[in-house]
Structure 1
């Protein structure tokens, strides 16, 4: 086993991360997996037991000596609430320290920021009461939305349906209303963290989460850490140009993937082709869900429109895979929650056939199991991850 050079304050996070991913593991196995000394592992584990983050759960099989005591995360030690602000709906997820969803619910879209602050504050208290979670175990609130985010303030740029949020001091207002620390992030970025946290994925896996909702974006995670870029807005794959003479996009570009294969334009094409998607004022994702169900039922016009969208999304996936070179590509978000079976084969075929590094081994392409709540779960996971981040007082 190669020795791993680790700054003392990183040992806590590394050990917790491996316990989380392994579900149950012994101290000896932790030392082997991390490259840390037995003394360092023992010291960190002792502190984690004292803090209540980890519990001992019995004995593992003997390998010739004394049976090893197994450790696991104590899921009820901490909780976080994640909120996804969308143009069609607002989604809430209360998650425990193990990344499991305790409760989830949706409300109509919150279009007025002032009203949203009050509604979210009310939902914080209501969610704890319904779940029977003590207030002092809720460590924070994560809020995610499409478009660029400024962590210190709020949304810097938004799709047309959410322009009221631009420059609104969301973080400060929510912290005042709830008394909780608040993290803001992009919805696609959050989904990658949610997958990593809830699905037991190890830090050796590089994840690209291709998110499709009102827009198209991606969350990137490698070595257990999110890759954000210089301005924390990496992964905007929906705003890659695929037609230089294409239609203008709200981002200021032309011919973006989102404008050619996104949910809104796909719904417009379907209506133009005579597909019945309900009332004209039906929210985009609800109309897209109706379209997906018709396509899954084999309705030719619906299927043709969705397949066209899938080809553009596959181009985005191919570009993402060539740039990031991940082990795992996950299709996630509310659009894939209903239409994933139609998109997955197209994306998998294109990525497998044209990926630049295809001679280096296979890439796994799969659908998320977290459905339309994936971004809200990721928002909660961001808070949990921050809680377990390195701290200067941790022992080496």
Structure 2
């Protein structure tokens, strides 16, 4: 499984059936026939094998519609697990999720800093072992490890991490080295893309098959889901709204362009402006002068806390950032004709209450297709750990339910057959 994650066809009818059960929550065999188009005999055979493998459970019966009540099926959440790791200069986040994507263990550790990649990989392997052992999970039930990091991605050389703070990771074969160190299959992806997949896998976006996850950590990006398929583009770098130009004559961005969303609205821009304003710096407890890169997320949190306490200068800086992010989000919504957006990532976990109304207001006011439909914006329930959760979902999807392009899961799966809570099996 090592290498860049991609949307691949279902390997078998088993994968398709398991994916429908996951999406539905609970569903009967008849419901599976209707959802997949497979014959009753095929569904019976596949379901029996999934039950024998411990992946699916029979869980009571549906309410009667006049005939025999149908037996309902659901994932056996504790049958398999996956590790998700978000690698960033500011910190490394680890999660262990069950088959349904729910987090059963998590921890955060120091970021990559200036350490050499082999040193960081050795540390990560030790920390992954501690995560699994601390949760009391049999390692044999761990399917693999998903690793996500800031882009851009280079799919021919494993992964290429080239934001300025991580230039010493250029072309390091991270997937191979981490797989060797952890003895787990490794799958790689962009952190914003993983965050979108995590929202989809956990069901937090409801039945919406097409949406964008607007991501802000130390940088800005977006993950795109189209008809239930993660859209990655030709090289895995789709959704880079952090490098949409908002001002052609604006400040230079590390990517080489000028006036990018990230250089105008990112946490680094907010912190630099705060440090340059003595009143804001004092209110937030910041030292004046240039920010040290490892502290930018912590400093952004300090500015946010000052804004939430009512410091007007701090509030103004965040609202300016939010307006720039909102314009980039509107651009993405116009291009993709979206109906839903999710705000996620460590920075929006901190400041989401300030950004959400600004982004929603921009879309309500100026989204091109607003006369036909609106765009709903919400804050992720797991914004702080979304990339790591999505990284684990990459493993679950690639190992168990790789999707076929164009698959549309029925919108009404979850409520087609309401369970009778007290019904015997």
Decide: shared fold, TM above 0.5: yes
SS at match of 2:78: helix
Residues of 2 paired with 1:320 and 1:222: CA distance?
13
SS at match of 1:140: strand
Query: How far off is 1:325 after superposition?
Result: 1.9
Q: Deviations over 1:277-313 (max 9, x none)?
A: 4345461011001111111122101001111101100
- Residue 238 of structure 1 is aligned with which of 242, 264, 267? 242
Q: Is the 8 A contact 1:151 1:183 kept in 2?
A: no
Q: Normalising by the residue count of structure 1, what TM-score does the alignment of the two structures yield?
A: 0.93
SS at match of 2:74: strand
- Map 1:78-227 to 2 at 5 A: 78-111=80-113, 112=115, 113-151=117-155, 153-199=157-203, 201=205, 205-227=209-231
- Structure 2 partner of 1:4: none
Residues of 2 paired with 1:132 and 1:152: CA distance?
37
SS at match of 1:385: helix
Matched residues, number: 386
SS at match of 1:283: helix
Residues of 1 paired with 2:107 and 2:10: CA distance?
40
- Structure 2 partner of 1:15: 17
Residues of 1 paired with 2:335 and 2:201: CA distance?
24
Q: Deviations over 1:67-90 (max 9, x none)?
A: 111111111111111111112111
Q: Which runs of 5+ in 2 are unaligned?
A: 1-8, 405-425
Change (3 A) 1:378 1:391: closer
SS at match of 1:356: coil
1:347 aligns with 2:350: no
Q: Which runs of 5+ in 1 are unaligned?
A: 1-6
- Residue 310 of structure 1 is aligned with which of 308, 315, 322? 322
Residues of 2 paired with 1:23 and 1:152: CA distance?
37
Deviation larger for 33-42 or 371-380: 33-42
SS at match of 1:77: coil
Q: Normalising by the residue count of structure 2, what TM-score does the alignment of the two structures yield?
A: 0.87
Deviation larger for 39-48 or 166-175: 39-48
SS at match of 1:66: coil
SS at match of 1:133: coil
Calculate the aligned-residue CA RMSD, in Å. 1.9
